[in-house]
Structure 1
Amino acid sequence: MTQANAFTTTFQNPKLRLLNGLKAGSKPVMTFMGLSSVRTAQIVAQTGVDSIILDCEHGNISDDSMHNMVAAIAALDISPIVRIRAPLPDLIKRTLDTGAHGIMVPQINTAAEAELVVKYSKFPPYGLRGQGSPFPGLAHGLTIPQYMKSANETLLTCIQIETKEGLENVDAICAVDGVDIVFIGPNDLAQSLLGYVPAKGDEPEFVGALDKIVAAARKNGKWVSRLSNSGKLAKEHLNIYDTVALGADMKAITMWFQNELQDVKA
Structure 2
Amino acid sequence: MSYPTALTTSIENSRLRLLNKIKAGEFPLMTFMAIPSIRQAQIVALTGVDGIIIDCEHGHIGDDAMHNSVAAISALGVSPVIRIRGPAHDILKRALDTGAHGIMVPQINNAEEAAQIVASSKFPPQGVRGQGSAFPAIGHGLTTPEYMKSANETIITMIQIETRAGVENVEAICAVPGVDLVFIGPNDLAQSLLGYTPARGDEPEFVAAIDKIIAAARKAGKWAGRMVNNGTAAKEARERYDTVAITGDTKAIQNWYMAEFDIARS
What TM-score, normalized to structure 1?
Answer: 0.99
Q: Which residue of 1 aligns with 2:189?
A: 189
Q: Which residue number corresponds to residue 179 of structure 1?
A: 179
How high is the sequence identity, in percent, across the aligned residues?
Answer: 65
Q: Which runs of 5+ in 2 are unaligned?
A: none
Amino acid at match of 2:257: F
1:85 maps to 85
Residue 262 of structure 2: SS of its match in structure 1?
helix
Alignment correspondent of 1:10 = 10
Deviation at 1:4, TM superposition (A): 2.0
CA distance in 2, matches of 1:201, 1:33: 24
Q: Which secondary structure state, in structure 1, belongs to the residue aligned with residue 71 of structure 2?
A: helix
Instruction: Name the residue aligned to 2:201.
Output: 201
Q: Does residue 52 in structure 1 map to residue 24 in structure 2? A: no
Q: Give the Cα separation in 1 of the matches to 2:140 and 2:248.
A: 24
Distance 1:88 1:64 in 2: 19
How far apart, CA to CA, are the structure 1 residues paired with 2:51 and 2:139? Answer: 13
- The AA in structure 1 aligned to 2:153 is E
Distance 1:4 1:85 in 2: 27
What is the CA-CA distance between 1:238 and the residue it aligns to?
1.2
Alignment correspondent of 2:132: 132
Q: CA deviation at 1:206?
A: 0.5
Question: What letter matches 2:80 in structure 1?
Answer: P
Aligned to 1:250: 250
Structure 2 counterpart of 1:245, which letter?
A
In the TM superposition, what whole-angstrom CA distance separates every residue of 1:70-127 from its partner, at most 9, and x where no partner exists?
A: 0010011100000001000001100000000010000000100000000000000000
After TM superposition, the score normalised by the length of structure 2 is: 0.99
CA distance in 1, matches of 2:195, 2:15: 41
Q: Does the residue aligned with 1:212 lie in a helix, a strand or coil?
A: helix
Residue aligning to 2:221: 221
Q: Deviations over 1:8-50 (max 9, x none)?
A: 2111100000000111000000000001011011011011000
Whether 1:164 aligns to 2:164 is yes
- CA-based RMSD: 0.6
- Quote the offset at 1:3 in angstroms: 2.5
Partners of 1:36 and 1:232 lie apart in 2 by 28
Q: Distance in 1 between matches of 2:142 and 2:20?
A: 16
CA deviation digits over 1:158-183, x for unaligned, max 9?
Answer: 00000001000000000000000100
Match of 2:26 in 1: 26
Query: Would you identify which runs of 4 or more consecutive aligned residues in structure 1 move more than 6 Å?
Result: none
Flag structure 1 segments of 5+ consecutive residues without an equivalent. none
